[in-house]
Amino acid sequence: MVLHEVGMRDGLQMEQHTVPTAQKIEWIDRLARTGIDIIQVGSFVHPGKVPQMADTDMLFAELMKPGRKPRTLLFSGLVLNEKGLDRALACGVEMVCLGVSASETHSRKNTGMAIADALERIIATAGRAAAAGLKVQVSVQSAFGCGYEGTVPRERVLEIVRHYLEAGFTAISLADTAGHAVPDQVERMFADARNLDASAGFACHFHNTYGLGLANCNAALKTGVKYVESSVAGLGGCPFTKIAGGNVCTEDFLHMIQRMGFRRDVDLSGCIDVAKSVSAYFGRELPGTVYRVGTIPGE
């Protein structure tokens, strides 16, 4: 499986205190040394709307310098529109993530657009990114429910997936923005999505709003999902959803899968050290568990 660390973006965007660029770089460098596969550095959004992400261009300019990072590591960035993509291209981003919400209310709060308009715009922007040689991942946000609307019809989610596939995009993340998912729902959704194209590379992105994040990750893995997005110390949450819950915690997820025999090549202790550093920086206990209680002796 492929581990995509999103704490520096999806995690920090919810914090009231803006973290200095130098501190972000220190955390990213430390996470890079753990063997995690992809690190999401930031998002190319308007700095007035999400000031915590105002230094994303500077971060990439530093991190993408020749010889600066491990050869196998990818740095990703979130892009919301054409201007964001222009900024990403200008600072050498390798991988861009773009998404559309399956909730009309969340879509309008997040992008100011209806689903249909947002989908058309995102597919066009993703096409430009692919033509420029970037790796592209598209996502369906609020795929398992919405904090404003409640239930999101499964067929609506699958219809967005169909549009992505028809446009040639096969790296697709289903995101539980509101944290409403339950394991059997997750298994059905990913099974249905895989039936549309068995060769597609699906990713999962769960929030732990109601304490089901790890259970939902495990359900996704059972269906063959290979890409998992998580956040160091469990930081995070979408600022445009009704109740923002933290992401699945990276070190908690890693602890689970290593006990199951997977990804023992990733340095769990290094991830825990970063989580402790983040907690100390903010001066509070964060949602993650393993960084506080430690690993199981002998495991």
Catalogue the active-site residues: 238
> Could you tell me which of 193, 189, 230, 237 has the C-alpha nearest to residue 50?
237
Tell me the C-alpha distance between 120 and 111, whole Å: 13
194 contacts 224 by C-beta, under 8 angstroms: yes
Instruction: List the beta bridge partners of residue 141.
Output: 101
Q: What is the DSSP string of 29-57?
A: HHHHTTT-SEEEEEEE--TTT-GGGTTHH
Tell me the C-alpha distance between 182 and 32, whole Å: 31
| Residues found in the chain | 299
Terminal-residue alpha carbon distance, the chain: 20
Q: How many CA atoms lie within 13 A of 44 on its CB side?
A: 25
Token duo for residue 189: 């959704």
Tell me the C-alpha distance between 287 and 214, whole Å: 13
- Identity of residue 179: G
